[in-house]
Structures are given as structure tokens and as C-alpha cells.
Amino acid sequence: MLAPALGAERLRLREPLAPYTTFRIGGPADVLYDAMTADELASAIVAAREAGVPVFVLGLGANILVGDAGFRGLVVRNRANAIRFGSDGRVQAESGATVAELIRQTVAAGWSGLEHYVGIPSTVGGAVWQNLHFLSPAPERERTMFIAEVVANVELLLPSGARTVVSADEMAFGYDTSRLHGSGEIALRVDFQLTPGEQDTLQRILQENLAWRGARHPWLEVHPSAGSIFKKIEGVGAGRLIDQCGLKGFRIGDAQISFMHANIVVNVGRATAADVRAVIAHAQAAVRERFGQSLEPEIGFIGEFTAP
């Protein structure tokens, strides 16, 4: 049903999703399609919806846990990555561009606003979906900065299949959220408004932020993860509560609570989604019993899970 619209030769059947996630976990998608432009991304979603096929848009797979039984339907891997510079600090990126590449190009051109988010795996689409954030530069690090601060407009694909451009004010950005959560809307392109930056300042922020993250978070290349597993508990810290339960290093199968940061679960070998879910349940039960607090997962659970 999808082949006429998307091209049979570009559809991969029963494709394992683990390699396309930072957790390196997850069973096969019925069908995987790589969208190479924003137009292809929009066409694929519209084609799937018209055919009544469930569809999931995959960025870098940095904030999701895919079930061991995989995804029934179409996974569209967003590889639409064109980046165009306008005048006076305007930069437009397709939503599959990586934040890493966008930072590389904007910093090289002397524009400030995105350098704070260095080292965080994300596509531009994932970044606006979740309102990507990091602490303000050292030495103060006095506040959390959000990508919303440099977003001017977002082009959206609506559930109807129509496209529209909305301003940042209309994006309902919050901590770890935006209007894209649960709305069925997909970000196709984002316009950023950046400001001139001193090359030395930009380079300092890049290096200091990478050092900060490197010292606190496990390294993805060695210890695959999905970043923070649980949502922030304001003024307390999900990681601190799990830590105080003595759970650093707690392991089920090959899923382990990181020794570096208790809010991160790492895949130390061949972890399954069931292993990760069992670790999540254990941490939730321990924190509820000890502190009476509910830990709410921050990651998305995608596809089909077998019982742990």
C-alpha cells in the first residue's frame, strides 16, 4: 500500500531498530523508510495516514526505548538535513538536521545561540519537540537555557496533511515539552534567529560544556543510553533520589543504573527493552517506598513490549 507512494526499492522490511537508537535496543519495524528531504518526510507521513498504517518519526533515537517486538507499521527515519543561512543571523534547518551539525556550521560562521547544546544527541525536530535545554555558560551556570530562546518559526505538518508556519510563541514550549507532544503534528523545518558571537567565547562554551557533560554523564559510544530516564523533580532531582536509594550499579540483565548518574540507565552489553523496563520499575518502587515520590519516565516507549 505504501510502495506506490514511497517507491518499493526504498522500503526496508523487518528492519531492526536497535542500530538507529542511542540505547542500541529495539526489535524490527515492519517497514523503515529514510526521508531525505522535508517534502519526503511530509509525503511519507501523509501516505501512511491515508493507508491507515501507524507511523513513527524517528530522529536520532536519543530519547526513546523501542520494544523488543519492534514497531507494527512504518518508521520514517528523518534524514532531511538541509541547512540554509539567511541574512542577519537567520538560519533555516530541516528537522532531520542534527543539532551537532547545526552547531558546527553556525559556530564556524560566528553565530551564537546553539553552542550551549553541544554534545546532546538530537535532531532539530527532536530539539523543538522537547525544547532542548542546558545550563547557561560557566562559571555561573545560573539558569537553564532552552532552544526556544532562538527559535523564530517552525513549519509544521498538521494531522490534516496541511502545512503551516507557526511562531515560537505558538509552540507552547515548556520544560521538556512543546505543542508537538501528542498533537500528531510533525516539525518539518525550523527557522532560528541567532546573534553575533565572539569566536573565542563560542569555542570556550563548546569546550566547557563538553567537559561538564563528559564528567557527569556516561559516554554513549561506550555505554549506550537514552539520557535521563525520569523527568526532573524540581528542587529535588530524580537522579539524587535513586542515588540515595543506593541503586547506582543496580543491574537486571544488561541494563544497569549508571555509576556516574543515577538517572541514566546504560546498556552494558545486550540489554533488552524488558531489562530496561524492569530496572525502571525497580527504581520507581524503591523511590516510592523510601521517599513517597513518583518517578515519571521522561523517555518515549515506542512499539511493542513483551512483559518483563
Residues classed as catalytic: 228, 298
Which of 26, 27, 89, 227 is in the footprint of ligand NDP by CB under 6 A?
Answer: 227
Which of 98, 123, 228, 267 is in the footprint of ligand EPU by CB under 6 A?
Answer: 228
Minimal distance, residue 117 CB to ligand EPU, in Å: 9
- 225 is a site residue for ligand EPU (CB under 6 A): no
Which of 153, 263, 267, 272 is in the footprint of ligand EPU by CB under 6 A?
Answer: 263
Binding segment (CB under 6 A) for ligand EPU, from list 33-41, 44-52, 84-92, 227-235: 227-235
Closest to 58 (Cα-Cα) out of 300, 221, 266, 304: 300
Minimal distance, residue 196 CB to ligand NDP, in Å: 26
Minimal distance, residue 56 CB to ligand NDP, in Å: 6
Give the separation between CA 4 and CA 10, rounded to whole angstroms.
11
Minimal distance, residue 266 CB to ligand NDP, in Å: 13
Asked if residues 30 and 73 have their Cβ atoms less than 8 Å apart, the reply is: yes
Binding segment (CB under 6 A) for ligand EPU, from list 73-81, 86-94, 178-186, 259-267: 259-267
The footprint of ligand EPU (CB under 6 A) covers 133-135, 144, 227-228, 231-232, 237-240, 243, 261-263, 298
The footprint of ligand NDP (CB under 6 A) covers 57-64, 78, 95, 120-123, 125-127, 129-130, 132, 180-181, 186-187, 227, 300
